[in-house]
Structure formats: C-alpha cells, structure tokens
Structure 1
Amino acid sequence: MPRTDDTTTTTGELVPVKFSRLTRRGLILGLSLSQMIALGIGGASLIGALYAGGGILIAYSAPIWAAAIALTWVKTGGRALVEWIPVCAWWAWRTTGGQLAYRRRIVAPRPEGTLALPGDMARLREYTDPETGAGMIHDPTANTLTVVVSVTHPAFVLLDPSEQHRRVTAWGRVLATICRSGRVATLQVLERTLPDSGQGLAEWWAEHGAHDDSWASTTYSELIDRAGPAGERHATTLSLSLDMKAAGRQIRTAGGGLKGAANVLRQEMTTLLSALRAADLTPSGWLSTGELAVMLRTAYDPAIGPTLERHGQLGQDLATAGPVAVAETWERLRTDSGYHAVLWISEWPRAMVYPGFLAPITLSTGIQRSISLICTPLRTDQAVRDIRKKKVEYISDRAQRAKIGQIQDASQTAEYEDVLRQEADLTAGHGVLRYTGLIAITAPTVEELDTAVAAIEQAAIQASCETRRLVGQQAAAFTAAALPIARRI
C-alpha cells in the first residue's frame, strides 16, 4: 500500500510514492504451511531411518527426505515447488473432468435472468435498477451486487506536476470514501484499449457532410461505410461491488432481496459519483444491461467489437453476451476470435516512483490489453488485527532466527518497516486497501500474442514492476482481468 502522506506536501509539488513489498511471511522462519508439511515428512523419514538402524536405511529413505528438501527450498516461477502441487492438482482435476473447454448450447434454453458465461460464472444473475436503469450483476455465491460506471478523464501524463498532484490527492479521497463505507466488497478500475471503429468519423459525416447525389459525396459515403478500425482508443470503467452480507441490516430495512440490495447500492453509487466529480473525473453514467452485454461480448470476441459499436442495437442482451467457445491451456486462453494471456503484477515498485509510473504499460501502442486494478477495502478493526498479527509474526521470527544464529536480512527488515508504516497510516485515519493488478493481453494469433506479452513484460520492467503469467488458471484470471464484474482471484 502506498504511503498516503508521501503524496501530500504543503507546496503542492508532485513527490514520489513508495509501495509496500509483497509479504512472504510463514509459520516459522518464513516457511509456509505446505513447506512445513513437506519438511516434516522428510524429517520424519530421516529420523525413522536413523532409529531403525541407520546405514543402508538412510540410503533407502534418501528419495523421500531429498525430495522433501527440494520441494521445500527449490523455487521456480517465484514459488517453492511444494506450492505448485495444489495448482497442478487442480489443473489435473479440471483436465480429467473436461472443464478446460466450453461450448455454448445454442438450442438449449437458459434460466431467465442468467448470463451465458462459462464455468462458475453461469451462476451470475442480471438485475435492472428501476430508478437509474443501471444494469446490476448479482453473484449469489459471493453474495455481492455489482454495478459499472464509465469514466472519462484527461491524459494524466500531459498535465503539469501541480495539477497531477492535485488529481492524485483527489483520487486518494475517492479511495478513502470507499474504505469508510464498510459495505463495499470491491472496487475495480478497468482500463482497456479498443480498436477505433470509426464511429466518430461516421457521426461527423452524418452531421457535416454534403448529402447530395454528386460523385464526391457518394464516394465519401462509401469509403466511410467500408472504413474499418483505425488506431485505438482507451476506455475506463469503475465497478462497484456491494457486500450484501455486510449490508444485511440495511438491505432488510430497504425491503429485502435484490430490490433492497439495489436500494442500498444506489446510496453507494451516489456517494461514488460525488467523489468522482470532486476528483475532476467525468462519469458518463451507469452502464445498462445492454452496454454490459457489449463489453462482455467484445472481451470474448474482440473482432466483433467495431461492428457492435457502429450498430448500437446489436449484441445488447446479457443472455447471449457470453462466448460461443472457450479452450484453456496451461498458459493461455482461446475464445471466439482471440487468444488471451493474463499477467499478474507480482511486485509493485520497491523504489520511490512518481504517480504516473504505469505510463509505459498504459501507453503501449499496437497491443490490445486490459489493465484491471482490484481494490479490496478492509474494515478498520480487521486491518488492526491483521497488522497486529503481522507484527507478532515478524518479532517471533526475528527472535527465532537470533536463537539459531541466523542473520536477519534486509528484505525482512524492509517488510517489517512496511508494517510499521501501515500501522502509522491507519492510526492517522487513512484507510487500508489491498490491491491486485492484472493485465490481460489479447491477439488474433498465438504468435502475435507471444509478441504482445513480451512487449508488455518489457514495459512492466520500465515501470519498475515485476509480472508473472498466471499459469494453470488463465480462465479464472481472464474473468478478473478483462471483465467489469469485480471478480477476485
């Protein structure tokens, strides 16, 4: 979590911010539960061999304790080998169960109000708010109700430093508003690059063109009608998810059920809109079910996006907005007309950076991608307990390391200082948010996808970030990274 007070100065000058490190705490000496289990199995086999007679028995048991040591301390892809066991086991289970492929049953009827999405997203339900006309998505399992708003804003990198500082401070107030609510489950910021459909050109010609029977007018009209996507544009949405369990009392007071939840969510929507306008962000209105259907459809079928944009009445049905076919592999996902790969921002900048540090990623050209920042607010009491638990674990680990003569390294000291800084910020009245950054890259072919992924990884290096491809879980990661439904992973 960045230090909020690092971005506030009396002069209004833009100053760098610092992110907390990704914590790697464990039960004992930084070892996780799975590592402790593997080490315990290896130690039990070695001790048993020693007590049974030693010698040849130790050699016979060597494969067990040697494998346990390797599983505990050998790392690949940023994880210990033992931590890959659940991922591989779940992948094997889904492979044997035929869950890696999805084909829509065109002629099979679907329950009314459901979304035609693959996997566990088939449980999602749609609801239209009768007062605002906003399309809401209900997740009965996670017990959340989500609504989406489109936001426009000026180019941040083109503003002068004082204006950038003012906007960063104003955005901090928006996040503080979310933290103080206590009823918000998730706030998702989704920034996408889309091919420009030429709709603006067509609208300009319809308004200013000379519509006569001349050769020039006819030629221009034909060229505009046949014009395909040219360039790209950026679109930003905010998804606000209501925690229906935390807001249970207010929902019952408002009438109960989805109607009561919509009434409570409408209060949060009003508060968010006021905070956005105070931050000089321009909300374009809450998206209807038809607009949500177009977003979902273009995420799975990017080739049809320009057509849906130029013909506004097509594809505006959530019951048919899902993909026709999905095929998942270990490190990518294939849908109707595109290949996708999802990267996780595993490490935010460790050094001091300015607020526009993500510019190399957001301004990358020629790549269709979605950047999803999933913000999960923590209640103050929950944040206090979490920080207290972290402090106890770090102090206990330090004492244990000193007892066995192990030296405390700089990374552990830095993580403990991050905890102390978060405690100071919480004491000063700031909210605590947990961030998850995901980047979904889309391309028409596998070769173009690999090239685009390499370019985004290089851009992340320029932004002082570390990324990892979420292998074995690309389908779940894609729904969280590319769809505006505030899903967590």
Structure 2
Amino acid sequence: MTATPATSVRFGRLERRGVLLGLDAGQLTVLGVALVVLVVAEYGAGAVGVAVTAPVWGTLAAVALVSVAGRPVTRWLPIVGQWVLRRVFRATRYVARPLRDSGPESLSLPGFSGRLTITASPTTGAALVFHRRSGTVTGILELTGRGFLLEDPGSQDLRVSGWGRVLASLCQQPEIVRVQLLHRSSADGAAGVRRWWFEHALADAPWATRVVADLLAESTTLTDRRDCFLAVAVRVPRGSRRVNAAVIDAVEQHLAAITDALVAAEVDVRSVVSPARLRGVLRAAYDPMAALDGPHLETGDGLVGPMGVAEFWEFVRTDSAHHAVYWVAEWPRSDFHPGFLQPLLLAPGARRAFTLIAEPLSASAALREIRRAKVEHTADAAQRARIGRLEDASTRAEADDLLRREQDLVGGHGDLRFAGLITVSAGSRVELEAACRATEAAAAQAMCELRLLVGQQGQAHAAAALPLARGLL
C-alpha cells in the first residue's frame, strides 16, 4: 500500500514593488532632488556648474539607486540615524534599578516604550499584560504538540488544515490586534528531568527506582527544554488607563475561543500563563543560564527583567548570554513539506527562539491592499513597456501571488500580515558566532533566507524573545 504524501506548502515572494520602475517613494524623492540640482546647475552655469555640483547630485543619485545587503540606501538611512542618536544619548544600554523596577504588578523592559502592567484574571488566573501606549491587553497560552513529524501524511494534513482554521478565525475577530507564536529551545540542565521524576515516581517504588532517583540527583547532564507560547493582543477602548472587568471578560472570551480552535486542531493547551509563570519566562529570556537553577523560573521569584542590557550593531548582550536576532526575509517559494522548519526548531543543543508574529487583516482591508498593489503593478508594467524594459520572472511571480491572495479572500479565507524572527543565544561572543553560522545553515536546509537585523537588535530581541505580542518591526 502506497502512502499518500502530505500536502505541500508554498509562500509568496517578498514584495519589492515600488511606485515607479521598482523605486519606492523615498528613492524617487532623493532622485528627484538630484535631478533638480543637476538641472539648476546646467541652466545656471552650464557644463562648469554640472561638474562643480557633480559630488552633490552624484551622491544623491547613488543614494537613490544603490542597494546594500538587498536594501536600498534610503531605507538604511533611518536605521543608521536612529542608531547613531541612541549611541550619542546612551540609549543602547539599560541598567536595572531593583528597588524601583521590582514591583509585582509593573514592568519596565528594554525595547518597550512605557511600563507594562500585569493583572491576574480573577476567574482563570491568567496574566493579562496591559500596555497603555499601544492600547492592548495581552493574554498568553502555553501549548504542547503531539508529534506532528511522527504522524502519517493524512493526519498531518488534518492538523495543517486545523491550524489554518485557527488562523482564519483570528481574521473574524476585529478586536484581536496581533498574535505571536513563540517556540523556544533552552538549556534545562537536569532540573527538568528531576522535576518530572519526582512528580511521577511512586513513593513506595522498588529499589531500582530509588537507584534511578539517586542517579538523577547527582546528574549534571544538560538537556534541551522546549516551550511554546501563544500570545494574543486584544485592543482595549481608547483612553483606558487600567484593565477593568469588561476588558478582562473580553480577553478571556477571546482566549477561550482560541483554546477551542486549538483543541480542534489537535494542539494541546497546557495552561494559561499565570503572572508568576510569566515572570519566570521573561527572566529566562534575559538570563538563559538561570534555567539551570530550576525552581524559581516556575514561581517567578526574584528580578523579572534583566540586570543589564548592552545593545551593539549586530547583537545584544544580557545578563548571562549574547543574542543575535534574524528576520526571515524569504520563506520557501516552491512546494515543500509543512514541517520544513524542523532543522531550525528541533536541532539538538541549539539555543534558539522562533517567533511568528501575525496581524489579522479584515477582508475589506486585505482586498484594498491587494488592489492597490495590483494598480501599482499595472502602472509599473505600463511604464516599463513605454521605455522598452522587459518584465522579469520575479515581477510576474509577485503578480501571481497577488492574484492567488485575492482568490483566497474571495473564497472566504482570511489574510494576515506576518513576519518570522529567530533569536540565537550563546554564552560568549565566539560561541554566538558559531551558533549563528549553524542557524544560517539550518535555515538553508529549511529553504528560508535570513537577514540579521543590524542596528535594531534591542527592539528585535524584545519582539522575538518575549511572549508579549510586541508587534512587527
């Protein structure tokens, strides 16, 4: 009997369309200024004026037309400018003030503007994180899987379809601003094994069980711990200064609906994340070696945020680790197995956090976005035909992706604006470089293209390593 292969998946290309001939508004503006300088110099002083002003209009033209690392120079300028300003004003370093920042209901974390308020739900005990500046309240679920890769292709197809229905249901709930799926691999020492053993072993077990307990008590072997969280950010009424009963009820209803959808998709919801558990999770993101100590991460005792953070151009350093954050710039563009992320997520010994951030779009908003993009493609094609420039395969592929998205929306599917982020952690700079090379190799196996978020590592770490649904960069 021949097994039926699992349904393949394919992603669209990274959209690179522009306003005119592939150039965006910023590039056209800079190029227009260069042309103005050139024309004024030509009419004012002739060839001499053109030669004298050549460094000006030549530099502007280069800024408008040249790309560095796949990104136009005009898009690098804001990143470099913000980085320089933050360096000048010493905003790239953060030092905790334990006497001021250790309140049980308030958090001040680097990468977040303003303070975060944690409220415990009176009915479920869930931690509800209120960020006043963004106007959202976030609830977090802790998830476990059922061995997707070990299932037969038919079962895999059912689970993929179920997960698709979960995502589609998000687009039908306008109060949901965004969701974040965080899968984190960390070192657990032997604490996790010991904890499981003492919780499940029988007290009156035979001598062999006692021998195993003694061996575990003396074990120093490092093990891998994998945690998975789903954070849901819900919009609160404008001007809200605190989380009231109505907001709590609304968030709990959304969490309950998502829980039902996850269970139908055969994804187990272990529990809602309590305030104590959330503090432990946040602490482990800044101090991974604290996981080796075990118990306090479950109870949330001690300091929640980092003792200190130093942001550099290519990485960020926290209490006991160095971190580098990548953006998944390209996903598989050909038919691939749904478990294509296995090399990135399940590599033994890897200390990585994979985050998928998705912002649901209503059908009307998604259709407007698609039709606007189609108009830009049509205008761009007409301009290329006017100057005799041929259309390349990448442009046709982007147009096909837009058509497929529009057909899916008309067919009743939802649309999401999403991004993938990967945080690589290591104990030292040298170890981080080796871990980054291994991560890039694993991404190549998964048919994904990664880009290091240089100049944005502090904000990227907050978005990628913390289950708080911070939002897209």
- When the two structures are superposed, what TM-score results if normalisation uses the length of structure 2? 0.93
Cα distance, 1:358 vs. partner?
A: 1.1
Aligned counterpart for 1:200 among listed residues 185, 189, 193: 193
Is 2:158 the counterpart of 1:170? no
Letter of the 1:265 partner, please give it. V
1:266 maps to 252
Unaligned runs of 5+ in 2: none
2:372 maps to 389
Cα distance, 1:274 vs. partner?
A: 0.6
1:460 maps to 443
The answer to whether the 8 Å contact 1:13/1:165 transfers is: no
What is the distance in 1 between the residues matched to 2:13 and 2:297? 45
1:348/1:242 Cα in 2 relative to 1: closer, same or farther (>3 Å)? Answer: same
Describe the SS at the equivalent of 1:146. Answer: strand
What is the distance in 2 between the residues matched to 1:190 and 1:413? 34
Letter of the 1:330 partner, please give it. W
Is 2:404 the counterpart of 1:421? yes
| Structural mapping, 1:58-73, within 5 Å | 58-73=50-65
1:410 maps to 393
Describe the SS at the equivalent of 2:106. Answer: coil
Letter of the 1:73 partner, please give it. L
Letter of the 1:344 partner, please give it. W
1:262/1:341 Cα in 2 relative to 1: closer, same or farther (>3 Å)? Answer: same
| Structural mapping, 1:51-450, within 5 Å | 51-108=43-100, 113-198=105-190, 199-204=192-197, 207-208=201-202, 224-245=216-237, 257-308=243-294, 310-311=295-296, 314-316=299-301, 320-450=303-433
The answer to whether the 8 Å contact 1:239/1:485 transfers is: yes
What is the distance in 2 between the residues matched to 1:393 and 1:372? 31
What is the distance in 1 between the residues matched to 2:36 and 2:380? 23
Describe the SS at the equivalent of 1:125. Answer: strand
Deviations 1:383-427 (A, max 9, x none): 111111111111111111111222111111111111111111000
Cα distance, 1:122 vs. partner?
A: 4.5
1:394/1:218 Cα in 2 relative to 1: closer, same or farther (>3 Å)? Answer: closer
1:314/1:56 Cα in 2 relative to 1: closer, same or farther (>3 Å)? Answer: same
Over aligned residue pairs, what C-alpha RMSD do you find? 2.4
Is 2:13 the counterpart of 1:21? yes
Deviations 1:290-312 (A, max 9, x none): 0000000000000111313x356
- Worse-superposed segment, 260-269 or 221-230: 221-230
Describe the SS at the equivalent of 2:171. Answer: helix
Describe the SS at the equivalent of 2:40. Answer: helix
1:202/1:289 Cα in 2 relative to 1: closer, same or farther (>3 Å)? Answer: closer
Describe the SS at the equivalent of 1:438. Answer: strand
1:24/1:163 Cα in 2 relative to 1: closer, same or farther (>3 Å)? Answer: same
What is the distance in 1 between the residues matched to 2:101 and 2:439? 41
Letter of the 1:433 partner, please give it. L
Cα distance, 1:221 vs. partner?
A: 6.0
- When the two structures are superposed, what TM-score results if normalisation uses the length of structure 1? 0.90
The answer to whether the 8 Å contact 1:192/1:370 transfers is: yes
Cα distance, 1:118 vs. partner?
A: 2.4
Describe the SS at the equivalent of 1:54. Answer: helix
Describe the SS at the equivalent of 1:234. Answer: strand
Deviations 1:176-233 (A, max 9, x none): 1111112111111111112234233354257347799x9x999876653443352212
1:205/1:421 Cα in 2 relative to 1: closer, same or farther (>3 Å)? Answer: closer
Deviations 1:306-360 (A, max 9, x none): 313x35665346xx30000000000100000000000000011111212111111
The count of aligned residue pairs is 467
Cα distance, 1:119 vs. partner?
A: 4.5
Letter of the 1:34 partner, please give it. G
Q: Name the % identity.
A: 37
Is 2:456 the counterpart of 1:476? no
The answer to whether the 8 Å contact 1:289/1:316 transfers is: no
Letter of the 2:419 partner, please give it. T
Describe the SS at the equivalent of 2:157. Answer: helix
What is the distance in 2 between the residues matched to 1:420 and 1:220? 60
What is the distance in 1 between the residues matched to 2:87 and 2:254? 41
Letter of the 1:442 partner, please give it. S
The answer to whether the 8 Å contact 1:114/1:122 transfers is: no
The answer to whether the 8 Å contact 2:19/2:25 transfers is: yes
Deviations 1:108-167 (A, max 9, x none): 466772114224354211111111100011111111110111111122222111111111
